[in-house]
Amino acid sequence: MRERRPLGLLGGTFDPVHHGHLRLAEEAAEALGLTRVRLIPAGQPPHREQPASSPEHRLAMVALAAAGNPLLEVDAAEVASPRASYTVDTLERLRGEFGEMQPLVLILGADAFAGLASWHRWREVFGLAHVAVANRPGHAPHARRWPALLSPELDDACTSRLTADAETLKTAPAGRVMPFEMTPLAISATRIRELLARGQSARYLLPDGVLDYIGNHSLYR
């Protein structure tokens, strides 16, 4: 197969988007050889309680955060959809957009990856995209660095797909699982919302433009 540079996919509620999300996109692109990273705000996330801010506000904040970085692009389709945001549906839509041969890489944190077997139609994810697992420091320094405790079915599904070579992501459109290291940043959207709710500063935890947007629209108060 002719090699193609893979496209990264980073979804989330982004409530709000912060520097941890942006740094993850940046480091994933470098570690995995991605041509760019598409940020995909969830409209109605089915696996958690509804976000504190509306889909439209979260989309606007992601657009502000991505502005000026040619590596990043924003996908508004989940926000525009009246249906729940299932990852497999998004991957099927993107397959239709990019074709069967374009490598797609779903970027997940280690905690999200550990819960993959609870996702809707989760086994089909591997036929639609590669999965890149961003590991936090403290994991043993070997290729298999996801959480030690995975469900047996997820463990079985992933072991044969494991790769430590980003070049393999270019030679197939989907099907590999690759761990990679990321810089630890103790930033969370929950913490940012808590600070703002108490009237405390969240500056330097998220882009200034996003913080200004939050203040202008009185979000998280």
pLDDT attached to residue 44? 85
pLDDT digits (tens, 9 = 90+) for 3-40: 589 999 999 999 999 999 999 999 999 999 999 999 99
pLDDT attached to residue 1? 44
Model confidence at 81: pLDDT above 80: yes
Rounded average pLDDT over 153-166: 90
- Domain residues of the chain, as ranges? 7-184
Rounded average pLDDT over 153-178: 93
151-187 burial string, b = 16+ CB within 10 Å, else e? eeebeebbeeeeeeebeebbeebbbbbbbbebeeeeb
How far apart are the C-alpha atoms of 183 and 173, rounded to whole Å? 27
CA-based max dimension of the chain: 55
How far apart are the C-alpha atoms of 70 and 126, rounded to whole Å? 28
How far apart are the C-alpha atoms of 171 and 99, rounded to whole Å? 15
CATH assignment of 7-184?
A: 3.40.50.620
How far apart are the C-alpha atoms of 62 and 18, rounded to whole Å? 9
Beta strands in 26-144 (DSSP E): 36-41, 72-74, 104-109, 130-135
Comparing 71-75, 108-112, 169-173, 200-204, the range with the smallest average pLDDT is 108-112
CA neighbor of 5 nearest in space, from 126, 173, 178: 173
pTM of the predicted model as reported, rounded to 2 decimal places: 0.92
pLDDT digits (tens, 9 = 90+) for 175-199: 999 999 888 888 999 999 999 999 9
